[in-house]
């Protein structure tokens, strides 16, 4: 949230209304609503939105949640800013990404920024593996991830193998495949231009430190991009 607000300040906007695309269970939306923004979250997953709606606390500011695709949503209002966080943008194929940009364009106030995170092709390390181990509500969640990269279509397919453990007993195990489209910076610039948006800035996804935003290099994996309506 601090990162987002630093971006808003850098681009001279103080939004009231924010549109969150691929909002999932509303992790960012509740925090933004708590900071006083009017938030609308859009996601195509009824399951994620159902969890999001249950998370709303009594008497707490509530985001609005809308079931729709980020490539095809239509809402009866415009927003001062739009965001798409935590890799959500990569779930779109290239043609869907162009449609998403055009929808964002028609839902943004004239100087409104669209802040979205994407993964950079040049920074993908094929064959990457990692472990995650966390405990939540008495359950231990172990996740082993394995990525394979399809160069021709720039798709990073990540297999997440989960083991859910209660005490010493494995209570569930399952695998999910997430196919994420990665982009070079040039490709992203062209895609934005084709869709009537222009790139206002790009920063490394790591939160800014005391020295400010971190510059993007060819090895920056998560890029936080800021786009605005183009001149056309
Ligand atoms: C990695 S999660 C990120 C969730 C949330 N932004 C966060 O940071 O917690 C990606 C989300 O994008 C949603 N998603 C994927 N493709 C979508 C699409 N075409 N339209 C809308 N939502 C989509 C998924 O349902 C999922 O909730």
Residues 73-88: pLDDT tens digits?
Answer: 999 999 999 999 999 9
Give the residue whose CA is nearest to atom 10 of ligand 1. Answer: 88
pLDDT at position 232 over 50: no
Q: What is the pLDDT of residue 231?
A: 64
Give 62-116 as a 3 state SS string: CCEEEECCCCCCCCCCCECEEEECCCHHHHCCHHHHHHHHHHHHHHECCCCCEEE
Pocket flag, ligand 1, residue 86 (CB < 6 Å): yes
Q: What is the pLDDT of residue 206?
A: 82
Give the residue whose CA is nearest to atom 16 of ligand 1. Answer: 91
Specify the CATH architecture of the domain 2-121+183-228.
3-Layer(aba) Sandwich (3.40)
Q: What is the pLDDT of residue 100?
A: 98
Q: Where are the domains of the chain?
A: 2-121+183-228, 125-181
Predicted TM-score of the model (pTM): 0.95
**DSSP string for residues in the chain:** -HHHHHHHHHTT---SEEEEET-TT-HHHHHHHHTT-EEEEEES-HHHHHHHHHHPPTTS---EEEE--TTT---SS-BSEEEE-TTGGGGS-HHHHHHHHHHHHHHB-TT--EEEEEEBGGG--TT-EEEEEEEETTEEEEEEEEEEEETTTTEEEEEEEEEEEETTEEEEEEEEEEEEE-B-HHHHHHHHHHTTEEEEEEEESSPPBTTBSPPP-TT--EEEEEEEE---
Q: What is the pLDDT of residue 208?
A: 77
pLDDT at position 126 over 80: no
CATH for the stretch 125-181: 2.20.130.10
Pocket flag, ligand 1, residue 70 (CB < 6 Å): yes
Pocket flag, ligand 1, residue 90 (CB < 6 Å): no
Give the residue whose CA is nearest to atom 19 of ligand 1. Answer: 69
Residues 20-67: pLDDT tens digits?
Answer: 999 999 999 999 999 999 999 999 999 999 999 999 887 888 999 999
Give the residue whose CA is nearest to atom 20 of ligand 1. Answer: 69
Residues 129-187: pLDDT tens digits?
Answer: 899 999 988 999 999 999 999 999 999 999 999 999 999 999 999 999 999 999 999 99
Pocket flag, ligand 1, residue 113 (CB < 6 Å): no
| Alpha-carbon span 178 to 26, nearest angstrom | 20
Residues 113-123: pLDDT tens digits?
Answer: 999 999 999 99
125-181 and 2-121+183-228 share a CATH fold: no
Which residues have CB under 8 Å from 209's CB, separation 6+? none
Q: Which atom of ligand 1 is nearest to the CA of 20?
A: 6
């Amino acid at each position: 949230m601090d990162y987002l607000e630093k971006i808003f300040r850098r681009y001279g906007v103080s939004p009231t209304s924010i549109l969150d695309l691929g909002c999932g269970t509303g992790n960012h939306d509740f925090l933004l609503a708590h900071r006083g923004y009017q938030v609308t979250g859009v996601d195509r997953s009824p399951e994620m939105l159902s969890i999001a709606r249950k998370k709303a606390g009594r008497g707490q500011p509530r985001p609005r949640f809308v079931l729709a695709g980020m490539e095809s949503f239509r809402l009866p209002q415009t927003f001062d800013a739009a965001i798409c966080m935590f890799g959500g943008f990569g779930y779109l194929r290239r043609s869907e990404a162009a449609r998403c940009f055009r929808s964002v364009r028609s839902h943004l106030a004239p100087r409104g920024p669209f802040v979205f995170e994407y993964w950079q092709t040049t920074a993908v390390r094929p064959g990457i593996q990692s472990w995650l181990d966390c405990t939540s509500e008495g359950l231990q969640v172990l996740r082993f991830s394995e990525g394979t990269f399809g160069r021709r279509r720039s798709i990073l397919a990540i297999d997440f193998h989960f083991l859910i453990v209660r005490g010493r007993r494995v209570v569930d195990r399952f695998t999910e495949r997430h196919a994420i489209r990665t982009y070079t910076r040039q490709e992203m610039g062209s895609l934005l231009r084709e869709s009537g948006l222009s790139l206002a800035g790009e920063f490394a996804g790591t939160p800014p430190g005391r020295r400010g935003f971190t510059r993007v290099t060819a090895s920056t994996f998560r890029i936080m991009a800021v786009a605005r309506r183009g001149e056309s």
